[in-house]
Chain A
Amino acid sequence: MDGRRWDQEADVVVIGSGGAGLTAAILAHDNGARVVVLERSDLIGGTTAVSGGGAWIPLNHKMQDLETSDSREEALTYCKRLTAGRAPDELVETFVDTGHRMIRYLEVNTPLRFRASTIPDYQSEMAGAKPGGRSLDPEMFHVAELGEWAEKLRPSPLMFVPLTMDEALKSIGSPGSLQMTEIVGRMKAGLVGSGRALVGRLLKGCLDRGISILTGTRARQLVAEDGRVLGVRADREGGETRVGARGGVVLACGGFEWNQALWARFQPAAITHHCSPPDNEGDALIMAAELGADLGNMSEAWLYPGAIVPGEEHDGLPVSRWVMGERTLPHAILVNRRGERFVNEGSNYNDMSRALLVIDPNSLEARNMPCWCIMDNQYRQRYPILTVMPTDPDPEWLVSTESLEALAAKVGINPSGLTAAVSRFNGFARQEKDADFGRGESRYEHWMGDPNAPHPNLGTLEKPPFYALPIHLAAAGTKGGPRTDKNGRVLNVRGEVIGGLYAAGNAMAGVSGPGYYGGGGTIGLGMTWGYICGINAAVEAKNAS
């Protein structure tokens, strides 16, 4: 193939239009490059658009608004503990040193605006953790500012009401905190929040710069010569288009969670549900592997416990809702089929989900799957269950009975196991001390709990009817992909740089190992590496010319 014949040429080609890709595009442009963004779908925003939109960035300048201090040492201590040696220290240090510069740059030079969130770091009791401020919450965005591109802003099946990340999370334990009149006013005004606000603001930044964005264009293969990437072959409008990249190609098109074959090969457990766009089929991974890229962190994913409202769909697929309050609020526990509690239900969704991966060494079956959330009427009267508010009638899909034994029999849990577990938990709840799993002891759990309850996370299950909600293991994305150096350059299996090839976000070997730093842990890393890749690819383009 003659790689030098191009349908169009740019200095930097960015593949993907999520937080990482759009940030890379802006930085490459601002560093003198002519940029083309290739987006596989007809919609802009990738996984970022369907998310809460937070960005976890230590040392960010917004922390001062909360009068919270931070230090490089604390951030590194915390991050390195969570990566558990599974990400190179050099990359963790680069993240900590660069993320805050990225946020400041984008706030000064684009429409992007954040507010510091009060949500504590996800492992809030670990050394170096902060009680709030490292998670940044994007401000609402008027979608009309995008003009004709407004229709291309990817909708979110989970965050489609204009709420900030903080508002959405705080409403779980305090449903009454939602100001409905205010929200309806936002809807009528065309405001969007969370991930859509973040993408909308970044997209506006790209459009203001005249950056070319080709939607419906799926990158299929990197064009390389003498071990250096020169451009991309892509599917577009039923044919093929070739886009040359003088400086480099940035892979920022998400993970591989929707590629069943890749998932089965690398991930430890079968997963039936994801909340990310189904385009995340590992395109970046496959293209990079074709050029001999080394891979890293392939067995890790951004996990969460999910549940389904039967009949609820988005784009023809079931909507996998995040189970949050149903495990962090009082009067609710998680049990396996033996009726046993098996985890601190209130821990962050990623780490809690690890308990769902445990394999029984004798039966070689998943020890804690299937799994149910068990609640009583005290919970039902106070808090939402997925989409069902306390004042709503019981939906048909929500299993309820007048006794725990009947509930267990109805859904397939060992009845004596369940009654024993509930009895033991009720004792802990009365003492406000979970001696088995330490539930409700962390700052993070308190933040996610009910601020008006006697204990924000603990309460007995004793008032019928009792309810059971089946839980599934789900992923918001994968964390594995081509390994990179601190400049975002992809490395081959011999540890050498593949010239002209960069990777960011969920497309790269993640810089958090198995951990989840805090709210926006995915996007913070993704945008930081987008920033790094954008600058370095632009510099490479300058050097090439």
Chain B
Amino acid sequence: MPEVTYATTMKAPRADVWEFVHDMNNWAPFTRGYQSHEVINDRESVWTVKGDLGPISRVTKFHVTITEWIEGEKVSFTVRGINEPINGRGAITIADGEAASTLIHGNATIEMGGTLGPVVNELIVPFVEEGADELVTKIVIAVTGDETVVVRRRNPLILMLAGVWRLIRAGVKGLFGLISRRRDGTQP
């Protein structure tokens, strides 16, 4: 099952990031193979995308439903194919980063069902992964104005290792802080 996970930092205030991403009209055209989308209501929309299936491209329509909306913080959604047995889900979370930056974490899975599902899922991996790189990169450029940015997806193992590294770094920093305060004669 094709799955993509992202964790990146944008050099922009969280409010600016949310202002951009909360309205899908801002970033929908950044989707690889985007043809059109129709907003049905504040929770539902229908998308038409031309996707790559191995060497051929095919137009697919799917219904996107927002299942969770935490203002300024998180959006979760589901995807259901209208003319093909496609199902998927995903979420985007944003949080304050250091020095007026914003941390973005995103993940999405998409799965083709039916008899040919296992084969199609293998074929669409490049489209999903490269499409995700392209989408996130374009969003970051649109928000920050930095056209040199190139975002690459992260696999869950790297994310876990990055988390462990951050914990170690925080622990070391804390330890050094403790030592320096003791050298100053201050109490912990």
A residues near B (Cβ < 8 Å) are 155-157, 160-161, 175-176, 178, 180-181, 183-184, 187-188, 309-314, 319, 387, 389-396
Contact = CB atoms under 8 A, between A and B. Distances in A.
27 contacts: A155-B55, A156-B55, A160-B123, A161-B54, A161-B119, A175-B115, A178-B115, A180-B116, A180-B117, A180-B118, A183-B118, A183-B119, A184-B118, A311-B50, A311-B59, A312-B56, A312-B59, A313-B56, A313-B58, A389-B116, A391-B114, A392-B85, A392-B114, A392-B115, A393-B84, A395-B84, A396-B83
Contacts of A157: 55-56
Interface in B119-159: 119, 122-123
Contact of A393 (B83, B118, B123): B83
Contacts of B67: none
Given A389-B116, A390-B115, 6 more contacts: A160-B55, A161-B123, A178-B115, A180-B115, A183-B119, A391-B115
Contacts of A389: 114-116
B57 interface: yes
CB-CB nearest 8 A-B residue pairs: A311-B59, A155-B55, A160-B54, A180-B118, A395-B83, A389-B115, A314-B56, A312-B58
Interface in B32-84: 50, 54-59, 61, 81-84
A178 B118 CA distance: 11
A393 B67 CA distance: 24
A188 B122 CA distance: 8
Nearest to A179: B118
Contacts of B84: 392-393, 395
B9 to A, nearest CB: 34
A212 B116 CA distance: 40
Given A184-B118, A188-B122, A310 B59 contact: yes
Nearest to B85: A392
Contacts of A309: 58
Contacts of B85: 391-393
Q: Which of B55, B58, B61, B81 has the most CB of A within 10 A?
A: B55
Contacts of B122: 184, 187-188
Nearest to A396: B83
Contacts of A394: 83
Contacts of B118: 180-181, 183-184
Contacts, number: 70
Interface residues of B, number: 21
Contacts of A187: 119, 122-123
Contacts of B50: 311, 313
A161 B115 CA distance: 14
Contacts of B82: 393
Interface string B82-93: 111100000000
A322 B97 CA distance: 55
Contacts of A319: 56
Contacts of A312: 56-59
A312 B59 CA distance: 7
B36 to A, nearest CB: 12
A184 B119 contact: yes
Contacts of A160: 54-56, 123
Nearest to A50: B55
Nearest to A315: B55
A393 B85 CA distance: 7
A285 B85 CA distance: 47
Contacts of A392: 84-85, 114-115
Nearest to A161: B119
B173 to A, nearest CB: 43
Contacts of A313: 50, 56-58
B33 to A, nearest CB: 11
A391 B112 CA distance: 12
Nearest to B83: A395
A469 to B, nearest CB: 15
Contacts of A183: 118-119
Nearest to A156: B55
A314 B118 CA distance: 22
A188 B85 CA distance: 23
Nearest to A158: B56
B133 to A, nearest CB: 20
A503 to B, nearest CB: 29
A183 B119 CA distance: 7
A309 B55 CA distance: 15
B52 to A, nearest CB: 10
B168 to A, nearest CB: 35
Contacts of B115: 175-176, 178, 180, 389-392
Given A160-B54, A391-B114, A180 B59 contact: no
B89 to A, nearest CB: 19
A179 B54 CA distance: 19
A311 B57 CA distance: 8
A180 B58 contact: no
A394 B114 CA distance: 13
A365 to B, nearest CB: 32
A434 to B, nearest CB: 30
